[in-house]
Amino acid sequence: MIDIHLGIDDTDSNEGMCTTYLTTLILEELMKKNIIMTDYPNLIRLNPNIPWKTRGNASLCLRFKSDKPKIIFKIAKKILVENSESKKQKANSGIIMLQSKKIPDEIIKFAEKCLYQEIKMTELNKIISHNNIEYFGQGTKRGLIGALAAIGNTLSSDHTYELIAYRKNIKVERGVSLESLIKIDKSKIYSTFNNIDYNNFRILITPHGKDPIFFAMRGNNPIDLYNAMSKLEIYDQAERFIIYRSNQGTSEHLQNKFDLKNIKTYQSGYVNGTISKKPNVIRGGHIFLKIESNNNHINCAIYAPTITLKTISRKLEKGDEVEIGGGISKKSKEYDQVLNAEYIKINKLTKKVININPKCKMCKKVMKSIGYNKGYKCIKCGVRSNIIKKRKITREIKKGLYLPVPSAQRHLTKPIERYGKENYKIKNIPKGTWFRIF
Ligand code: ATP
């Protein structure tokens, strides 16, 4: 039997479909051909800061053994053509099949780059021509980039799981009981995360678009996710569910330090530096920070919907040492390239000292300033003084890592509760019930 990696991307639009669902349609047919899965289906999130994405820049990969690669590719291609939004010219679908036990290094490197930079079609075409690859693309064929990146990211480091249930009736509102979800969320036995945003009691497991997803639960363990699903009370019918292994919730895209002399548009990463200007609040309640790092500067934008980041960043002072992670925006008419913050880590808080007016030794009254650097005068007896008193102010913020509220986090953002609980054990072969059609 031959090792096969099947990458799929860019099959949906805001009007419908979801590449995760289309992947289940392919899997449903491939299972009839007696494939042997060598991993859970993979859901790979790519650079969230590129502009072409529909929602969360997801790409998919199925890894299995089969002795019928030609038939496999034919089936996958047929399902793609029949179901992708490309048929309405609303997507640029791509599907790639690699036959190889080991993933070639250049595909692994391509996948790494796809997490934190913009990739050009020329880079893709070079790799396709070098390797034992079969592919099919529609429209601009941009989906081939994500399809290849999904193959190249084997999730050999920290990873999580996502159970996605799809709905039978696409026209009705998604019905999930908040109470049952709170119970699951509070019970740590399920090791799930980002179920609810308690800041506004928003359910985060149900999307709001026209896609076929009913709900999607994330967690550290696939069996826990299955158990959590069985405790979730729902008011609609699910049509199928699948468990994906994923890089979601790992911050895998933010592992590279920016070279501020050479930053690129849409790049993701982080900068370590010092606040060089007092935070500036702009229209809409967004905050601008200027960071200095080895004599280079960058402006960082902290957007109001991040709530926590906005509150924290307003209280930062010139001289504070921070690490800020996020993505580089395109230059606009108003601003040069800006780092849009996805997290702030405060490493050192500068001492904040204010000048206070001295008291008159005779009258015990607080003296008045007579102008900048001119000293003080007692308004009662007229005595003058040049003694400037300083008082240390207690800072309202603490050192540490700050993330946006859960509803404003990226799919890739590593939630606070996952720090120290990273999952490096790779149980590749799917166990228990990981895919079912009802
Ligand atoms: P969904 O999450 O609903 O599946 P999406 O947000 O993943 O949708 P797509 O419709 O797949 O969005 O569109 C993203 C497009 O960007 C794809 O064509 C993909 O190949 C391409 N792409 C992904 N990462 C990069 C990158 N780093 N550089 C250039 N193109 C990229």
Give tens-digit pLDDT for 127-160: 999 888 999 999 999 999 999 999 999 999 999 9
| Per-residue pLDDT, 247 | 98
Instruction: Identify which of 10, 140, 267 to mutate to test ligand 1's pocket (most ligand atoms within 8 A of the CB).
Output: 10
Q: Residue 356: what are its φ and ψ, rounded to 5°?
A: -125, 145
- In 202-350 the beta strands, taken as DSSP E runs, fall at 202-203, 213-219, 238-246, 268-281, 287-293, 296-302, 321-328, 338-348
Average pLDDT of the residues in 409-435 = 92
| Per-residue pLDDT, 240 | 98
Q: Whose CA is nearest to atom 22 of ligand 1?
A: 146
Residue 163 Cα to ligand 1 midpoint, Å, equals 21
SS3 267: coil
| Per-residue pLDDT, 377 | 94
Q: Whose CA is nearest to atom 10 of ligand 1?
A: 10
Pairing, β 376-377 against β 368-369: antiparallel
| Per-residue pLDDT, 354 | 87
Average pLDDT of the residues in 320-337 = 92
What percent of the chain shows pLDDT beyond 90?
Answer: 86
pLDDT tens across 96-115, in order? 999 999 999 999 999 999 99
Residue 359 Cα to ligand 1 midpoint, Å, equals 66
Average pLDDT score over the chain: 95
Structure tokens at 181: 């979800």
Instruction: Identify which of 18, 53, 267 to mutate to test ligand 1's pocket (most ligand atoms within 8 A of the CB).
Output: 53
Q: Report which listed range, 103-117, 323-337, 379-393, 422-436, is most confident.
A: 103-117
| Per-residue pLDDT, 323 | 98
Residues 6+ apart with CB under 8 A from 84: 11, 12, 17, 22, 91, 93, 138
User: pLDDT at residue 427 above 80?
Assistant: no
Residue 365 Cα to ligand 1 midpoint, Å, equals 68
User: pLDDT at residue 373 above 90?
Assistant: no
| Per-residue pLDDT, 79 | 97
| Per-residue pLDDT, 372 | 85
Structure tokens at 153: 């990211």
| Per-residue pLDDT, 262 | 94
Q: How far apart are CA 276 and CA 293, in angstroms?
A: 9
| Per-residue pLDDT, 164 | 98
pLDDT tens across 259-286, in order? 999 999 999 999 999 999 989 999 899 9
Residue 89 Cα to ligand 1 midpoint, Å, equals 16
pLDDT tens across 13-51, in order? 988 899 999 999 999 999 999 999 999 999 999 999 999
Q: Report which listed range, 198-202, 246-250, 260-264, is most confident.
A: 246-250
Atom of ligand 1 nearest to the CA of 147: 20
Pocket of ligand 1 (CB under 6 A): 9-10, 12, 18-19, 46-47, 50, 52-58, 91-92, 114, 117-119, 142-143, 145-146
